[in-house]
Amino acid sequence: MSKPALGRGLGALLGGGKPSAPAAPTNVAGSPAPVPPAPATTSSGPSGPRSVALDRIVPSPLQPRKDFTEESLRELADSIREQGIVQPLIVRVVGDKFELIAGERRWRASKLAGLSEVPVLERAATDREVLELALIENLQRENLNPVEEAVGYSQLQAQFELTQEQVAQRVGRSRVAVTNALRLLKLHPGVLDSVRTGRLSSGHAKVLLGIDSTALQSSAAEQVLARGLSVRQTEELVAQLLLPPPAGSTATHRAPASRDPHVVDVENRLRERFAAKVALRYKSGRGALEIRFASDDELNRILDLVGVHID
């Protein structure tokens, strides 16, 4: 199944109402494959590309992407030395500088390549449009790690007073996807950093969110990293850690009891579906299902998911 289109995309900045050009092929590094570039100095009016001194361009503080690997930048710099910049950078005028809207990776690689000028397209854009378009561009190219994506959604929501539903509509994501991403920001800072650097996957993170205690959550993450646990094994570990101690027990350490892996799997699927903490207790066809919420808005969101509407 193909992914839905993300928001307005960069077409709004690149061509207005004109038909969009076919997507350029990509090379193994994920950057556009070399094609004969248009002359950077050619201008077709205010909307046409032109060359700008590299030192007049500054990165945007609204850029959600913070991590740029040196290896990928060097590879792109080598390509730029050979082929030039295929796609102009998108900028807006801020004072006497040009602030990037899209193309920070190309800008960084151009500096490494020793360029003094780069082709740009100048566009007028509000802060909200800059953040939206930066998110959309990075999401389309799958450039953001899970934490950067979550921070981008959070920034869009807080800075412009948008609901999660509005954020989802603006960037072309489902509300559940946005909610699940934002939940990552509730992780213990050390655990969040492990997700940002890729030591823990977003799948691991979603399982660890089932632990309320930040100390226990951090301890569980350390075990996952030390033992190299898969997401399924992490589910089993968390289920064991959350089991209550035996009645009357005063021992501080106990051997974890096993939990039905099918119940653990269903519980985690429900947690993913509702983007909330879920507890499923099941035995011999009987049990209970608990879905936790922290606000009226969250309750209404969960009710909407199950088709219950309160007048």
Examine the residue annotation and report whether 104 is marked as an active-site residue of this protein. yes
Position with higher pLDDT, 21 vs 176: 176
Q: Which residue has the tokens 């922290």?
A: 294
Same domain, 177 and 293: yes
pLDDT (0 to 100) of residue 34: 37
- Across the range 6-25, mean pLDDT stands at 42
Same domain, 109 and 226: no
> Is residue 114 included in any domain, yes or no?
yes
d(CA 193, CA 170): 27
Q: What are phi and psi of 74, to 5 degrees?
A: -65, -40
Domain with 98, as residue range(s), is 45-141
Same domain, 137 and 180: no
> Is residue 60 included in any domain, yes or no?
yes
Residues 72-99: tens digit of each pLDDT: 788 888 988 888 887 888 899 998 999 9
Catalytic residue chosen out of the listed positions 104, 122, 132, 235: 104
Residue 282 neighbours by CB under 8 Å, 6+ apart: 260, 263
**Domain containing residue 115: CATH number:** 3.90.1530.30
Identify the bridge partners of residue 120 per DSSP, sorted by sequence position.
50, 89
For 238, the 3-state DSSP assignment is helix
- Across the range 200-217, mean pLDDT stands at 90
- The answer on pLDDT for 32 being more than 60 is no
> Is residue 33 included in any domain, yes or no?
no
Same domain, 207 and 296: yes
Residues 149-182: tens digit of each pLDDT: 898 888 888 878 888 888 888 888 888 889 989 9
**Domain containing residue 271: CATH number:** 1.10.10
Same domain, 135 and 175: no
> Is residue 101 included in any domain, yes or no?
yes
> Is residue 68 included in any domain, yes or no?
yes
Please say which residue of 141, 162, 196 terminates a domain: 141
Pick the closest to residue 78 from 27, 141, 117 (CA basis): 27
What is the token pair recorded at 110? 């151009």
User: Is this structure's pTM higher than 0.85?
Assistant: no
- The answer on pLDDT for 20 being more than 50 is no
Number of domains in the chain: 2
What is the token pair recorded at 143? 């450039």
pLDDT (0 to 100) of residue 118: 92
Same domain, 177 and 226: yes
d(CA 244, CA 247): 8
Q: Half-sphere exposure (CA, 13 Å, Cβ side) for 185? A: 12
